A = this chain, B = another copy of it.
Amino acid sequence: MYGSIRIEPNLHSKPLPNLDENLGFGKLFTNHMFMMDYEEGQGWHDPRIIPYGPISHDPAAMVFHYGQAVFEGMKAFRTENDEVVLFRPDQNAKRLNRSSERLSIPQMDEEFVVRAIQELVRVDAAWVPKKKGSSLYIRPFIIATEAILGVRPSMKYSFIIIMSPVDAYYDEGLQPINILVESYYARSVQGGTGNAKVAGNYAASLKAQTLAKEHNCAQVLWLDAIEKKYLEEVGSMNVFFKINGEVVTPSLSGSILEGITRGSIIHLLKEWGISVSERKISIDDIVQAHADGTLEEAFGTGTAAVVSPIGSLLWNGTPMVVNHGEIGQLVERLYTTITGIQCGKLPDTFDWLLKV
């Protein structure tokens, strides 16, 4: 499919940085990137691994004007046995195609996408850090490159994969965060692009994120855009609550991103025999549970942080403190289990890892 991947080694490679030092998130990139192009009539073609470096486009390229761009986020881990593994990459390839479909971007063979990621990670395998909690963040993305100002789907695209060694999201393990419940700005709506990993969704979220920071909150909890009542997601994470022993998370309404970590967590909870339900959750449900003392835990889930305990929710100017602002037992167990599987400390019972 698409021909074999040509490899052009980087003759001006940067020396490998000290991966035990502070890496930050998405600031430092490896020596190579993957690229493949699409042209109407020709399809996807010329898959290649080339030196990491600037890409050049006509200023009329459609991505600059009409935001026709989708992406994925995933990680490679170095296990305790010094193997390099990917976490559920088939799920990312599937979602990439779903996002593309929503934006009228041509589909790609999912097995090929996984193979392209594997080959690129192999080439820069030395960049996969070993430090506890660190990983190689992988960013596949597709951009519309045709140079024309008419509003219609582009007839040319580039699929690119870049990689960045990143630290654990929280330096000192898990740490509860404050969340602002946002009732003015909207991230998405049914019939929109909220359930796709689309560039424009993120641009639309920046303003509310700034507002959150001003309120000393790390992220925003989005309410549905229609009734401003039902919970959607937290910043770039899905959200879960443990109420009176039951774990609940908003059902996929059409405007919520179907997180891969979200799916993994639901799977784990079911395996553990913990009651978990995907349903509409109103902010009033949370206020009520907080008031009557049944709101036991709250957390966000995503590739970057895995799970992120919520210490308090700021709603209508009043903070609702969750679990005394401390890390809950369930969050701790989920974090330990998923990161344990990822770093090879725990058995890969569900066949989630793919060796590179």
Known: A68-B203, A103-B206. A149 touches B139 (CB 8 A): yes
CB–CB A204/B200 < 8 A = yes
A164 within 8 A of B: yes
Q: Chain B residues near A71 (CB, 8 Å)?
A: 65
List the B residue with the shortest CB-CB distance to A192.
B186
* Chain B hits for A63, CB < 8 A: 63-64, 199
Cα A52 to Cα B60 with chains together (Å): 10
In the complex, are the beta carbons of A184 and B191 less than 8 A apart? yes
Give the chain B neighbours of A335 by CB distance below 8 A. Answer: none
Q: Is A2 an interface residue (CB 8 A)?
A: no
Complex contact A192–B189 (CB within 8 A): yes
Contact A65 B199 (CB under 8 A): yes
What residues of B have a CB within 8 angstroms of the CB of A236 in the complex?
A: 151
Segment among A24-32, A83-91, A128-136, A242-250 that sits at the interface with chain B: A24-32
Q: Once the chains are docked, how many angstroms separate the CA of A158 from the CA of B29? A: 22
B69 pairs with A67, CB closer than 8 A = yes
* Total contacting residues, chain A, CB less than 8 A: 65
- A33 proximal to B (CB < 8 A): yes
Assess the B191–A66 pair: CB atoms within 8 A: no
Interface presence of A172 (CB below 8 A): no
State A162–B147 Cα separation when bound (angstroms).
12
A-side residues, CB < 8 A to B, are 25-27, 29, 33, 52-60, 63-69, 71, 102-104, 137, 139, 141, 143, 147-153, 160, 162, 164, 184-193, 198-207, 209-210, 225-226, 235-236
A-B contact pairs, 9 of them (CB 8 A): A26-B149, A29-B60, A59-B160, A65-B71, A66-B206, A67-B67, A185-B191, A186-B191, A226-B226
